[in-house]
Amino acid sequence: MNIGVLALQGDVREHLSALAESDVLARPIRRPEELADVDALVIPGGESTAISNLAVSFGLLDPIRKRIADGMPVYGSCAGMIMLASTVLDGRPDQESFQGIDMTVRRNAFGRQIDSFEADVTIDEVEGGAISGSTLHAVFIRAPWVEEVGESVRVLGRVSSGPAAGRIVAVRQGNLLATAFHPELTGDLRVHRYFVEMVRAR
């Protein structure tokens, strides 16, 4: 099983390391021909407008959209969540996304870089999953949150406490998973292992 990490911008190395520790082959993806050789994809945190512009420049926007439509499992963290959203609030007018998850995401919802923070996230029960019924200590860096989800989207996690308590920060729709936080920065592999389980089930 090969899982690619979109390697245009952001914390690519950290995701590659977390996937390797989750016992799968992980490789960076920068070209459409590389995308064709993987079973699943991770879209890392970073700067969503930069990832959007580079995906267009590198000819990856439409191929990734097609693979998503064909059922390829994809996980997006932070900027990756924005890139998977059907609707993005506070984004640039020319910003493109991969249009995977039926949700409205507010970009930089928690504030600017200086407002980055850590908080516990309560994860709903996920039958048989590595994150089932867990509480995760999460890192939020210029993070988005989910304002609204469609009927086919399951809310997996919310911020547990503080001024952002109750905000939706983890969702799943079919083979697509997204978090507003960065599990690749904490050494906690439960989200990555949950995604690997999704890929194996696929």
Active site residue 184: yes
Catalytic residue among 78, 137, 148, 151: 78
Catalytic residue among 14, 15, 96, 184: 184
Catalytic residue among 14, 15, 182, 192: 182
Active site residue 78: yes
Q: Which of 86, 62, 113, 57 is nearest to 176 (CA)?
A: 86
Active site residues: 78, 182, 184
